Amino acid sequence: MYQNQKERAILLTATKLLMILLCAGWISLWLLKPTDLWTKKWHLAENSARASLFGYYDPTPAIHYIIDMNFMFFRQTKFSTFSNALSNPLVVNNYLGILSGIELLGVALFLLFLAWTFYARISKDFRKLLPVESLNLKIWELKYLRIATRFGLLAEACLSLLLLPILRGLAPFQLIGIQFEASVKYHVWLGTAMVLFGTFHGISTLFIWGISNKIQDEVWKWQNTGRIYIAGEITLITGLVIWITSLPQIRRRKFEIFYYTHHLYIVFFVFFLFHAGDRHFYMVFPGLFLFGIDKILRIIQSRIETCVVSARILPCKAVELTLPKDRRLKYKPTSVVYVKIPRISRFQWHAFSLISSSSVDDETMSIVVKCDESWTRSLYDVISTEREGESDQLKCISIAVEGPYGPSSMDFLRYDHLLLIAGGIGITPFLSILQEINSMQNSSRFKCPARIQLIHVMKNSQDISLLNSILPLLLNSSNKKMNLQLKVFVTQEVQSGATVVELLNKFSQMQTIQSSTRCSSYAAQGLESLNWMAAITGLTSIVFLVALIIFNHIVIPTKKASKKTKDRTPSWISDLLLMSSFTLAILSSAVVGIVLRWRRLKKENLALIQTETGTQNAIPSSVVRGSRQEEHEIYYGGRPIFKEIFSNIKHEDEGTEIGVISCGPAAMNVSVASACKQISQGLRKDSKKKRQQFIFHSLNFTL
């Protein structure tokens, strides 16, 4: 066993080093692209390769796809130390949000890269500026046209990274401990920058053509060597439509419009290919390639529907759903699943945090849905209707599950003191954390926090029913190993005199509605393993390259063709070959994914759990009597002052490492981050006392 672990560690280290070299090579290509070394030396290498294996196409994609093949293996390495060192907030602003050191470093490096790309390109253009006879432009107009053209390259650079933050199964940002929900903001930043650069590129080009009275001729020109301008205008319009409908004002109020218009990305990429040509498309292709594989595997996984095992209507107008899962499916706390209920909508997917722990329950997993929007309100009505019509039994409710998607590690276990701050429904990821910690109390493999404080900010006292799944942890005084303290802040109610224990008992009286029928023999299977994902990515890369080579030699016989013949080859032919090869490669990944899913379903012999229908009453008085009830606190009519809370913790636990995890509305997360930053700065100035570390993390529960 030890020998196998040692060999695995050596292999993992070698793969890590190889991946670092490949990533460095890919970045070097971007940096060298604007230079003379690229335009002269690399083009000579391309020309020599065309007459051999690759034919008309250059070998550049091979470098990208080798990176893709090794990418998934690299995900298995952990960067928790590096991530935590830079995770504390450096910028806290109501407009910019919370930016950590690693985020600021990434943004600075990307802006530096954009500046280098633009400067290197435009300086070379101005040195070799030649008048365009067909346009009859002045010098300043020519320079402005070149500037507009190079802004298109900046949009291309943003596009090359645009899809990486929204990958789920192949999520690259988990390498540095960033969850999918948090990485979506990088997708928003890149998309906004791409649209701004692209809009300037398109409008400025049309402006110059308008000055020369050539706008109609140039727009409709279909060149053999690429640069199909009408395709560029369609790309720009499509991008603007996608960006406008994704603005928060539209996305939050009309989610369906945002969701459906985002599928125009297919039109966007097709016309971008026709506009920019295959050479430029290769630079953005790795992200699209990984997105295609990720998307097809997600579709295959979510096609298998299961059914709701049981439902529970909470007093705060929320619904707790229990779903069946494969016993082999393990997930980490704070994981997220996407669910679709065809009875409500056949197309809408919604993300919810799991409140259960796979270490506690092998056969089911649970989510809580706060029913205050159109889709969630429909779910509440469905559960309520079924409950009344079937004598406390639930008719079969089919549900499709995608995920779970979770963090790559459980770094929250390493803190001496854990401070969990939740706002409203933001309590859900903390429920899974607490259950996971409780299950590991007797394990020698993990070091659990010595002290945990849970702060729950809610509008009404009924929202305390969201804590129903951890009632034994809150009320059982015999559990001395887990030092858990709860502080409740009810913001929209005046003092009622009720204690935390009384409220928990009052709002814990709810009924569990079991499913009366079985509509599916399957349970949630989860994602494919990392090794299989890496194998599928590598296989798809090989299929793409082989298909591209074969199509190229069949359609464009470069071995016997002269340079003059090659020049007469229309660019749209090479574009179609690229799209055909990509489609064939994605179909191959779909076939492999279907086979793997079929094998897993064949092995599964799961009968849905049939538990007795009953009512979960209040915790018996014998359980709630104890010192634990005196530890919990409740405050009415105001919000917590986080700076004071942190100051009290500072005096209680000097010299300890405190993990601060916040999940709630953006304004609350900003307040927590600001207080954490101020306290940390004060501790650094006070050198007489032993330094205390407040390490801030935030979880997003809305996309």
Query: d(Cα 121, Cα 173) in Å, to the nearest integer?
Result: 30
Higher pLDDT, 49 or 144: 144
Cα distances (angstroms) measured from residue 251 to each of 241, 242, 699, 703: 13, 11, 20, 10
pLDDT of 200 strictly over 80 = yes
Local confidence band at 614 (pLDDT 50, 70, 90 cut-offs): very low
Local confidence band at 565 (pLDDT 50, 70, 90 cut-offs): very low
- pLDDT at position 48 is 56
What is the mean pLDDT of the segment spanning 508-527?
72
Instruction: Output the six-digit token pair for 407.
Output: 């963090």
Render the burial of 49-79: b for 16+ CB within 10 Å, e for the rest: bbeeebbbbbbbbbebbbbbbbbbbbbeeee
> If DSSP codes are grouped into helix, strand and coil, which group holds residue 319?
strand
What is the mean pLDDT of the segment spanning 622-637?
61
pLDDT of 639 strictly over 90 = no
pLDDT of 598 strictly over 90 = no
Find the range with the poorest average confidence among 451-460, 506-515, 557-566, 584-593: 557-566
> If DSSP codes are grouped into helix, strand and coil, which group holds residue 222?
coil
Express each pLDDT in 331-340 by its tens digit.
888 888 999 9
pLDDT of 83 strictly over 70 = no
- pLDDT at position 609 is 44
Express each pLDDT in 350-398 by its tens digit.
889 999 888 888 888 999 998 877 888 888 888 877 655 555 667 788 8
* Overall CATH class of domain 305-515: mainly beta
What is the mean pLDDT of the segment spanning 26-42?
64
Instruction: Output the six-digit token pair for 360.
Output: 């506690």
Q: Measured between alpha carbons, how far apart are the two ends of the chain, in Å?
A: 43
DSSP conformation letters of 449-477? PSEEEEEEEESSGGGGGGGGGGHHHHH-T
Tell me how far apart the 2 most distant CA atoms of the chain are, in Å. Answer: 93
- pLDDT at position 518 is 61
- pLDDT at position 206 is 86
What is the mean pLDDT of the segment spanning 53-72?
45
pLDDT of 121 strictly over 70 = yes
- pLDDT at position 621 is 37
pLDDT of 269 strictly over 90 = yes
pLDDT of 265 strictly over 90 = yes
- pLDDT at position 196 is 95
Local confidence band at 607 (pLDDT 50, 70, 90 cut-offs): very low
pLDDT of 461 strictly over 80 = yes
Local confidence band at 78 (pLDDT 50, 70, 90 cut-offs): very low
Query: d(Cα 20, Cα 14) in Å, to the nearest integer?
Result: 10
Residues of the chain with CATH 2.40.30.10: 305-515
- pLDDT at position 133 is 59
Asked if 221 and 310 touch (Cβ cutoff 8 Å), the reply is no
Local confidence band at 1 (pLDDT 50, 70, 90 cut-offs): very low
- pLDDT at position 59 is 43
| Amino acid, res. 188 | V
Higher pLDDT, 614 or 378: 378
- pLDDT at position 229 is 82
Find the range with the poorest average confidence among 260-269, 518-527, 668-677: 518-527
- pLDDT at position 562 is 44
What is the mean pLDDT of the segment spanning 27-43?
64
| Amino acid, res. 544 | F
Express each pLDDT in 286-334 by its tens digit.
889 989 999 998 888 888 888 888 888 888 888 899 998 888 888 888 8
Higher pLDDT, 227 or 614: 227
pLDDT of 188 strictly over 80 = yes
pLDDT of 268 strictly over 90 = yes
pLDDT of 56 strictly over 80 = no
- pLDDT at position 367 is 92
Query: d(Cα 128, Cα 143) in Å, to the nearest integer?
Result: 11
- pLDDT at position 613 is 38
For the chain, the average pLDDT equals: 76
Find the range with the poorest average confidence among 141-155, 239-253, 258-272, 370-384: 370-384
- pLDDT at position 676 is 81
| Amino acid, res. 533 | M
Query: d(Cα 475, Cα 268) in Å, to the nearest integer?
Result: 55
- pLDDT at position 343 is 86
pLDDT of 238 strictly over 90 = yes
Express each pLDDT in 543-552 by its tens digit.
998 888 888 7
Higher pLDDT, 320 or 86: 320
DSSP conformation letters of 404-456? EE--SS-GGGG-SEEEEEEEGGGGHHHHHHHHHHHHTTT-SSSPPPSEEEEEE
Percent of the chain with pLDDT strictly greater than 70: 70
Q: Which of 98, 260, 264 is nearest to 178 (CA)?
A: 98
What is the mean pLDDT of the segment spanning 582-594?
91
Local confidence band at 624 (pLDDT 50, 70, 90 cut-offs): very low
Query: d(Cα 148, Cα 142) in Å, to the nearest integer?
Result: 10
- pLDDT at position 68 is 42
Express each pLDDT in 139-181 by its tens digit.
888 888 889 989 999 999 999 889 988 888 877 666 555 666 6
pLDDT of 243 strictly over 90 = yes
Query: d(Cα 668, Cα 459) in Å, to the nearest integer?
Result: 13
- pLDDT at position 13 is 61
| pTM (whole model) above 0.85 | no
Local confidence band at 617 (pLDDT 50, 70, 90 cut-offs): very low
Render the burial of 442-478: b for 16+ CB within 10 Å, e for the rest: eeeeeebbebbbbbbbbeebbbbbbbbbbbebbbbee
Find the range with the poorest average confidence among 122-131, 328-337, 512-521: 512-521
Query: d(Cα 352, Cα 404) in Å, to the nearest integer?
Result: 10
- pLDDT at position 667 is 83
- pLDDT at position 158 is 92
Query: d(Cα 178, Cα 160) in Å, to the nearest integer?
Result: 20
Give the CB-side neighbour count of residue 472, counting CA atoms within 13 A. 6
pLDDT of 62 strictly over 50 = no
Cα distances (angstroms) measured from residue 519 to each of 311, 394, 472: 16, 12, 33
Express each pLDDT in 88-112 by its tens digit.
677 776 667 777 777 788 888 889 8
